[in-house]
Structure 1
Amino acid sequence: MTKSRLFRLWLVLGSVFTVLLIIAYWDSVGTAHFHLHTALSRPHPLQPRASPGPGLAAASDVEEFLEKLLGAGGKRGAGPGETAEQPAPGNVEESVRGYDWSPRDAPPGPDPDARQAARRSVLRDFCTNASFVFPTKERSFDDIPNYELNHLIVDDRHGVIYCYVPKVACTNWKRVMIVLSESLLDQGAPYRDPLDIPREYVHNSSTHLTFNKFWRRYGKFSRHLMKAKLRKYTKFLFVRDPFVRLISAFRSKFQLENEEFYRRFAVPMLRMYSNHTSLPASVSEAFSAGLKVSFANFIQYLLDPHTEKLAPFNEHWRQVHRLCHPCQIEYDFVGKLETLDQDAAQLLRLLKVDKRLHFPPSYRNRTASSWEEDWFAQIPLAWRQQLYKLYEADFVLFGYPKPENLLRD
């Protein structure tokens, strides 16, 4: 019995030493701060752990040790082999006419807690409803490949995980996460005001610690750490009406001069769906010649079965359930762009950081749901119906009504 206990002790100590070596190596010494939750965190209670059998005691001890290391990560700069880019600030999209950046107080709205409970209930009910089926619904969290976890941003200082959805105020929520995690410095000091952070820095991938970076940091222990953080941390995302989000993506990426999106997407769309064979090399030349992707071209591209055979949808029009995996991750807070001011204020209070910072005021002239009929007026009914099927899971999971007026004659 004594030899068995000694062997088990040596096994645990050996495992702990291995974990420490891995963490120290991948975090390059200075980036691993072994702190627990700060006073601002709102950790979730751990689920009761089943008593291990005789052969599992050592593994259980290692798991408990790993969970005590949840604070590992600390301030995040450029990782090994990465260089933090510092592009010049300024972006034409933030200067589009109609943007109003003036602050205003957000009224709390009717019973926000009940509203959150209702949204989470809708998600849970449809994720467990066997009659509602969509691709990837039934897979487990372990089945999700690392590259599909790149939208989950982690703040270990406050115990927060945010899944960002492009075209749903994600720039400003990323700014908030940078302030909370202190992952970006300005002249040696962390940013304190979200609006001080230039947009280009916000979207620099080296700025954020995301789940897909865990493998490089923690090796074979990465999935266990992800799941431990998912159990303890406050997890949130923001969504919006799926069709309105598509319109917003089209407007910002194809109606404004965007060199990257012109070359990667507009040129192939114009060739394939508008029969243009000779196209200008730059977006400015194309716009001067009146060559722009139409909304109909964009819808054709989304519905074309060959599109995703080449590559997954770009994040700006990829379905939310494919970005954030709401049936594999139980979110604590589901915000909506339609109630952004109220939801943002409620979330910051929930995280106990509302005295420290405010959500940046955002533009009021957002793409409105009432515009849908105008945008889809020239889109054939069959295309609209196919498009709804493509985004149906997002409509259903997040409680958006089916746009019947667009789906019938």
Structure 2
Amino acid sequence: MGRRNVSMMRLGRCVAFLAAAAFLLPFTILLMVADQQYNLTYNSKRVFYQESNFYKINGSYYMPAYAGTSLSRTQYMYENGTNDDGLLTRDKFMEVNARMEARRRFLRSECSRLGLDSSRNKAYAWEYLINRQYHVIWCNIFKAASTSWMYNFNLMANYTAAFLDKTKEVPLGLARKKYARPSAEMVKKAQVDSISFLIVRHPLERLASAYNDKIAHAWPKSFHDKMGYRIIQKYRKKKSPDAPHSPHPMFEEFVSYVLDEARAKRTLDMHWTPYTDFCTPCKFDFDVVLKFETLDEDQRYLIQLARLQDVVKPEWRNSGKGKTQQSINHLYSRLRRQQLVGLYNLYKYDFQLFNYTIDSYFEIVQPDDPSHG
């Protein structure tokens, strides 16, 4: 009887092992296949970079990136690591991915160092857009490729390109008809299976762009045109013999207004509010940080990462009013050193979290006026 019991026990264990193996084998095979298909792990999420469809795209959907340059199509693709369809090559994709990882690590490190990830700080999700169909989350920072990506998010909301190109409606208004303003909890929940991103640029370039677009070229009788009139009334020294005759505020007048508004703790216009306050990036775990300075590559990377290539295209909209660095330097050459210090203090966290520097601007501005202490 003892030998028979031992044999039965061994048989039972074999049956149990075979049953478990039969149950687990399909899942094991699926995991092996998944590991072969998805060869990039990003923040413990499986992302959408597949060898099988890396080159699969409707090439005619892309605006030629080399347009407006002196390079031929072949030269541009060679120098910028793109293929015939405008996609990044595998090597370029992995190069940009490493850059994104470095930015992400730097952001988390600075958030911790500055204490901005503390539970005492509130998370603001007012300007976030969540697209559940394509699993993409974006915090809209105005004057940082916001026009281009608002257009893209409207395409992802199933507006047609033909409609968007002819409509008179404001793109943000169209978007908010499809994307309700979320709570911070909604954003964090959606981040579990989505790619979240934001686009940043040098804070002083963004401010100059906002001034040029919204103040210097304000539509007559618009909100910003009326704001400009109030700025002139308060900050222009009319009795001075060298007083400007410009119908819109000069840059130094505009900066004085912005700094006074900040000192009075009044809500700043969304086009020049520090994006650290706007998006509270230390309270959300962003997957991708795009920078205006490398936007062409960064956009292509994001589009491929999220597999959006059949829906949107990497393009620059509203770039006609963009200032060259020479023009931006000219604007800042009108400021006093004290004003520049004030701007740095206003945008300090934007500088620190995203690794921007202000040093070169101190070489441009004028010294402080001794008559003003």
**Structure 2 partner of 1:387:** 343
User: 1:157 deviation in Å?
Assistant: 0.4
| 342 and 402 in structure 1: CA distance in 2 versus 1, 3 angstrom threshold | same
CA deviation profile, 1:55-106 (whole Å, cap 9, x unmatched): xxxxxxxxxxxxxxxxxxxxxxxxxxxxxxxxxxxxxxxxxxxxxx974257
Larger Rg: 2
**Structure 2 partner of 1:346:** 301
**Structure 2 partner of 1:200:** 169
| 43 and 342 in structure 1: CA distance in 2 versus 1, 3 angstrom threshold | closer
The answer to whether the Cα contact below 8 Å between 1:269 and 1:293 also exists between their aligned partners in 2 is yes
**Structure 1 partner of 2:260:** 304
| 370 and 155 in structure 1: CA distance in 2 versus 1, 3 angstrom threshold | same
Selected match of 1:316 from 258, 261, 271: 271
| 197 and 332 in structure 1: CA distance in 2 versus 1, 3 angstrom threshold | farther
**Structure 2 partner of 1:238:** 199
Selected match of 1:326 from 268, 271, 281: 281
**Structure 2 partner of 1:155:** 131
User: 1:266 deviation in Å?
Assistant: 1.3
Selected match of 1:396 from 352, 355, 363: 352
Letter in 2 for 1:334: V
What aligned pairs does 1:136-155 form with structure 2 within 5 A after superposition? 138-139=118-119, 143-144=122-123, 148-155=124-131
Instruction: Return the alpha-carbon distance in structure 2 between the equivalents of residues 247 and 393 of structure 1.
Output: 18
**Structure 1 partner of 2:150:** 174
CA-based RMSD of the aligned residues comes to 3.3
The answer to whether the Cα contact below 8 Å between 2:153 and 2:175 also exists between their aligned partners in 1 is no
What aligned pairs does 1:22-33 form with structure 2 within 5 A after superposition? none
> How many residues are matched?
280
CA deviation profile, 1:291-337 (whole Å, cap 9, x unmatched): 2111011110111156654x411110011111111100111111111
User: 1:140 deviation in Å?
Assistant: 5.7
| 137 and 308 in structure 1: CA distance in 2 versus 1, 3 angstrom threshold | farther
Instruction: Return the alpha-carbon distance in structure 2 between the equivalents of residues 202 and 140 of structure 1.
Output: 34
| 262 and 316 in structure 1: CA distance in 2 versus 1, 3 angstrom threshold | closer
**Structure 2 partner of 1:252:** 213
CA deviation profile, 1:92-137 (whole Å, cap 9, x unmatched): xxxxxxxxx97425734861111111111111110011xx36xx66
Q: What is the identity percentage for the equivalent residue pairs of Structure 1 and Structure 2?
A: 23
Instruction: Return the alpha-carbon distance in structure 1 between the equivalents of residues 298 and 103 of structure 2.
Output: 12
Letter in 2 for 1:149: A
The answer to whether the Cα contact below 8 Å between 1:242 and 1:394 also exists between their aligned partners in 2 is yes
CA deviation profile, 1:33-59 (whole Å, cap 9, x unmatched): xxxxxxxxx99768xxxxxxxxxxxxx
Q: In terms of mean alpha carbon deviation, does 191-200 or 312-321 score higher?
A: 191-200
The answer to whether the Cα contact below 8 Å between 1:154 and 1:209 also exists between their aligned partners in 2 is no
Instruction: Return the alpha-carbon distance in structure 2 between the equivalents of residues 158 and 175 of structure 1.
Output: 15
The answer to whether the Cα contact below 8 Å between 2:145 and 2:292 also exists between their aligned partners in 1 is yes
Instruction: Return the alpha-carbon distance in structure 1 between the equivalents of residues 312 and 224 of structure 2.
Output: 37
The answer to whether the Cα contact below 8 Å between 1:154 and 1:160 also exists between their aligned partners in 2 is yes
Instruction: Return the alpha-carbon distance in structure 1 between the equivalents of residues 112 and 163 of structure 2.
Output: 38
Indicate yes or no: 2:233 matched with 1:271.
yes
Q: Which has the higher helix share?
A: 2
Instruction: Return the alpha-carbon distance in structure 1 between the equivalents of residues 178 and 282 of structure 2.
Output: 22
What aligned pairs does 1:51-90 form with structure 2 within 5 A after superposition? none
The answer to whether the Cα contact below 8 Å between 1:235 and 1:333 also exists between their aligned partners in 2 is yes
Letter in 1 for 2:110: F
Letter in 2 for 1:266: G
Unmatched runs of 5 consecutive residues or more in structure 2: 1-40, 46-61, 67-76, 82-87, 239-244, 368-373
User: 1:253 deviation in Å?
Assistant: 1.0
TM-score w.r.t. structure 1 length? 0.60
Indicate yes or no: 2:354 matched with 1:378.
no
Letter in 2 for 1:377: S
User: 1:176 deviation in Å?
Assistant: 0.9
Letter in 1 for 2:196: K
Instruction: Return the alpha-carbon distance in structure 2 between the equivalents of residues 290 and 224 of structure 1.
Output: 47
| 117 and 364 in structure 1: CA distance in 2 versus 1, 3 angstrom threshold | farther
The answer to whether the Cα contact below 8 Å between 1:244 and 1:368 also exists between their aligned partners in 2 is no
User: 1:241 deviation in Å?
Assistant: 0.8
What secondary structure, in the 3-state scheme, does the structure 2 residue paired with 1:344 have?
helix
| 43 and 159 in structure 1: CA distance in 2 versus 1, 3 angstrom threshold | farther
User: 1:377 deviation in Å?
Assistant: 1.4
| 373 and 359 in structure 1: CA distance in 2 versus 1, 3 angstrom threshold | closer
What secondary structure, in the 3-state scheme, does the structure 1 residue paired with 2:281 have?
coil
CA deviation profile, 1:113-170 (whole Å, cap 9, x unmatched): 11111111111110011xx36xx663467x33xxx42210110101111111111111
**Structure 2 partner of 1:128:** 112
| 229 and 384 in structure 1: CA distance in 2 versus 1, 3 angstrom threshold | same
Letter in 2 for 1:234: I
| 226 and 341 in structure 1: CA distance in 2 versus 1, 3 angstrom threshold | closer
What secondary structure, in the 3-state scheme, does the structure 1 residue paired with 2:347 have?
helix
| 223 and 376 in structure 1: CA distance in 2 versus 1, 3 angstrom threshold | closer
The answer to whether the Cα contact below 8 Å between 2:231 and 2:257 also exists between their aligned partners in 1 is yes
**Structure 1 partner of 2:187:** 226
User: 1:193 deviation in Å?
Assistant: 6.7
